[in-house]
Amino acid sequence: MAHADTPSLSRLRPRTISMRTFQRAAVATLVILWLVVTTGGLVRLTASGLGCPHWPTCQAHGIVPQDSSHALIEFSNRAISGIAMLAAVATAIVGYRVAGVDRRIAHALALAAAGTVAQVPLGAITVAFDLNPYLVMSHFLLAMAVVSLSTWATVAVFRPEAARSIVGGRIGLLAWAAVVVYLGLIVSGAFVTAAGPHPGSTTTPIERIGNFYDAAWVHVRVATTFTVLLVALSVWLWKRFRGSPAQRLSIVAVILLGCQAAVGEYQYRNGLPWDVIAMHVALAATLLITVVTIASLVGALAARGDQAVRS
């Protein structure tokens, strides 16, 4: 006879995590990753990159900033990045614990978590090398890559068929081509910032990368290419999948792109004010999430169509 204090077999088994909990965790993580990008942009644009000269603490004899606005901005970004790292790792672990989740989704979340964790040593190295422009740029671009992965995985958590048909036929190829070109637009924008007037720090002269007007010329051309692809995708979705979430989101994407273009034109003609560029960065991260979501939903639509044909 088993003793009364012997734990039952059901208690020894790991608790099953519900799909609802997984979905909430994925959405929350994506929101926090968006905050990492936007607050990171503020650090650069307000010249707060060396507001906290020590890592991981802010000052040599204190964890939190004392009396500097630059230190407060820099430390806030570090705190949000730390929360994002914990959230991304926890969500990736949950992905392997939920029954029935496609392993491709869990692997994508694990890659996003790895990229988020990698930001910690990269941030330390960036500070140690006095905001080397290539390190600053890589810090930002890695954050955007993590947002892309997390977005696809989050959509696939709600629409598992997106993981089974990632491309989704010719319209899917167009959608992912728009994503690729938009990522190129983000890279070209990073070069514009690196050649522009915002140094990232008030205490250390920061090396510039390239010529601002040349970088802006390339950026505008890439933006034009992306605009053509996005409008073509929106029209195609309107004709083929009218009323679907992907089609409705494509309209949102076009509106966001229009706002982004207006903000970009304003900042270019008004001396590149830091607060307007901060809005530009926030819109860029939002539009990235929107475009990746559209491409992921197109894959889900294609998978449903294939399933309908087979049945």
Q: What is the pLDDT of residue 45?
A: 87
- Those residues whose C-beta lies under 8 Å from the C-beta of residue 178, and which sit 6 or more positions away, are 226, 229, 230, 233, 291, 294, 295
The per-residue pLDDT for 100 is 85
Q: In this predicted structure, what is the pLDDT of residue 230?
A: 97
Least confident of 2-6, 22-26, 244-248, 267-271: 2-6
> C-alpha dihedral over 270, 189, 258, 162, to 10 degrees?
-160
Find the radius of gyration of the CA atoms of the chain: 22
Distance CA 154, CA 297 (A): 11
Beta bridge partners of 59: 62
- Give, to the nearest 10 degrees, the angle between helix 169-195 and helix 274-310: 170
What's 19's DSSP letter?
H
48 φ, ψ (degrees, to nearest 5): -105, 15
d(CA 299, CA 248): 15
d(CA 60, CA 307): 61
Q: How confident is the model at residue 286 (pLDDT cuts 50, 70, 90)?
A: very high
48: which strand partners? 201
Confidence of residue 14 (pLDDT cuts 50, 70, 90): low
- The pLDDT of residue 66: 66
Whether this model's pTM surpasses 0.85: yes
Q: Quick one: average pLDDT of 260-283?
A: 92
* Residue 169 CB neighbour total at 10 angstroms: 15
Length of the chain: 311
Q: What are 122-154's pLDDT values in tens digits? A: 988 888 888 888 888 999 999 999 999 999 999
Q: What is the mean pLDDT of the chain?
A: 86
> Which one is predicted more confidently, 287 or 60?
287
Low-confidence winner among 73-77, 255-259, 262-266 (lowest mean pLDDT): 73-77
Q: In this predicted structure, which of 44-53, 148-157, 224-233 has the lowest mean pLDDT? A: 44-53
Residue 204: its pLDDT value, please? 61
Would you say residue 9 has pLDDT above 70?
A: no
Cβ atoms 197, 272 nearer than 8 A: yes
Judged against a pLDDT cut of 90, whether residue 274 lies above it is answered with no
| Collapsed DSSP state (helix, strand, coil) of residue 236 | helix
99 class by beta-carbon count within 10 Å (0-12 exposed, 13-18 middle, 19+ buried): exposed
Which of 193-202, 225-234, 242-251 shows the lowest mean pLDDT across its residues? Answer: 193-202
Q: Does 1 score more than 50 pLDDT?
A: no
Residue 188: pLDDT over 70? yes
Cα dihedral 156, 157, 158, 164 in deg (nearest 10): 40
- Main-chain phi, psi angles of 168, to 5 degrees: 85, 45
pLDDT digits (tens, 9 = 90+) for 65-119: 666 788 888 888 889 999 999 999 999 999 999 888 889 999 999 999 999 999 9
Give the rounded distance of the alpha carbon of 89 from its chain centre. Answer: 15
CA angle 144, 148, 152 (to 5 degrees): 165
| Confidence (pLDDT) at 169 | 79
Tokens (6 digits) for 44: 């650069």
Residues 296, 152: contact at Cβ < 8 Å? yes
Higher pLDDT, 36 or 126: 36
Residue 203 has pLDDT above 90, yes or no: no
How many CA atoms within 13 Å lie on the side-chain side of 249?
18
Nearest to 76 by CA among 60, 52, 47, 45: 52
